[in-house]
Amino acid sequence: MQTWSAELTDTFGGEPNYSWVRRCEFEAPEGASRQTIVRRGKRALGLTGMPCVVEDWGDYFTVRPQSSCTIAFFTIKD
């Protein structure tokens, strides 16, 4: 299992604002698909069932819930 860190924050003008932030950690199997990682991260942050736009940046994912001025970052921990 790999440990991932997740943080959810607000946006201002579409950019992360960090006037507040919610952080947590979650686990996913090694070699898990992007879909599995995103599902587990969304569950950990309480975003289950909310449609999101996911961007893969290689070493982390950004998740932008639709109809919400928020953004989440999922990053693998070393």
- What is the chain's pLDDT, residue by residue, as a tens digit (78 residues)? 999 999 999 999 989 999 999 999 999 999 889 999 999 999 999 998 889 999 988 889 999 999 889 999 999 987
CB atoms within 10 A of CB 28: 19
Look at residue 78 in the predicted model and tell me its pLDDT: 72
Predicted pLDDT of residue 43: 95
The model's pTM is 0.88
Q: How many DSSP H helices and E strands does the chain contain?
A: 1, 5
What per-residue confidence (pLDDT) applies to 58?
81
